[in-house]
Amino acid sequence: MQGKRQYAHYIAHHSLFKHDARPHTSLARAHQVMTKLPQSLASTLFPVGLLLIAMASIQSGASLAKSMFPIIGAQGTTTLRLLFASIIMLLILRPWRAKLTAKSLKTVIVYGIALGGMNFLFYMSLRTVPLGIAVALEFTGPLAVAIYSSRRPIDFVWIGLAIVGLLLLIPTGDSAQGIDLVGTGYALGAGVCWALYILYGQKAGADNGVQTAALGVMIAALFIAPIGIVHAGVALLTPSLIPIAIGVAILSTALPYTLEMIALTRMPTRTFGTLMSIEPAFGALSGLLFLHEVLSFSQWMAISCIITASVGATLTMRNHSKPVMADN
């Protein structure tokens, strides 16, 4: 009888122990899960936040740059922006450490000229075209590269959407909602330069990494500077413009480039490309807030079509395709 009581006590004790252990284990696991969730969410949202800040910075820089047009024109503004950007990139990335061969130097030169042309033509378009529309038109360049690198049947849908967006921007009859065709040509030309920037940037970056960016900006500054000097002359030395030009160089080049590089290392390239596709919307909002550029419904629809085409092309592209950054 005594043995049975001891055996019953033993069973009861161990049953209670086991029953009591489960809640503690479950609570510990639940605590671990609850601890990991905020960390996982933060690690996901952090690069997204950086990328959104970078896009806002680029478009704010473009709005600030436009305020310099009445004094030194788009040509002079591009010159000052690239000169100060090259100085900043020179100090940060130290491009003199890059090892260039004759072949890689040729690639870097074409890359830098494409970068300079992209910035110059984009600013030229801003003289007569609202910021959001100019960005959307310029996006046709990387969109074309993404579609060409993929070449799948679904890409015809994205091509169709992009064409619809462009058609919505063409002036019809006496409509006052149409945009300037010369400015449109400049923006599309900037898109062509962006496409060349992507193609040659990939080749140049494979040889010299991030130092390619500094080399490209320096070559772009040398390429555009004569145009700006001929157009603006001594007005480029106006003291009140120097702080603005430095601000444009930081907002449009140094800050977004740094943030995009950090974001790209913390998210899949496809996610990066998809988020970058909404940049025309940031341009439209920046134009509305800082430049008081009010767009019509059809113009917003055009921007939406081009954004959708860009997002679609990014999501359906082949795995080996990679988005490439560019600063407008």
Picking from 93, 76, 92, 81, the residue whose alpha carbon sits closest to that of residue 253 is: 81
> Is residue 304 assigned to a domain?
yes
For residue 251, give the DSSP letter.
I
- What pLDDT was estimated at residue 41? 66
Mean pLDDT (the chain) is 80
> Is residue 45 assigned to a domain?
no
In the chain, how many domains are there?
1
> Is residue 322 assigned to a domain?
no
Nearest-angstrom CA–CA distance, 132 and 301:
12
Question: For the chain, what percent of residues have pLDDT higher than 90?
Answer: 37
- What pLDDT was estimated at residue 326? 53
> Is residue 328 assigned to a domain?
no
Close Cβ partners of 303 (under 8 Å, ≥ 6 residues apart): 132, 133, 136, 165, 280, 281, 284, 295
> Is residue 217 assigned to a domain?
yes
> Is residue 301 assigned to a domain?
yes
pLDDT tens digits, 167-214: 887 765 444 456 888 999 999 999 999 989 888 887 777 777 777 788
> Is residue 57 assigned to a domain?
yes
- Asked if residue 165 has pLDDT above 70, the reply is yes
Q: How confident is the model at residue 6 (pLDDT cuts 50, 70, 90)?
A: very low
Report pTM.
Answer: 0.80
- What pLDDT was estimated at residue 58? 92
- What pLDDT was estimated at residue 2? 44
Q: How confident is the model at residue 126 (pLDDT cuts 50, 70, 90)?
A: very high
Backbone angles phi, psi at 94, to 5 degrees: 45, 65
pLDDT tens digits, 47-66: 888 888 999 999 999 999 99
- Counting beta carbons within 10 angstroms of the beta carbon of residue 269, is it exposed (0 to 12), middle (13 to 18) or buried (19 or more)? middle
> Is residue 42 assigned to a domain?
no
Q: What is the largest CA-CA distance in the chain?
A: 112
Residue ranges making up the domain that contains 100? 51-315
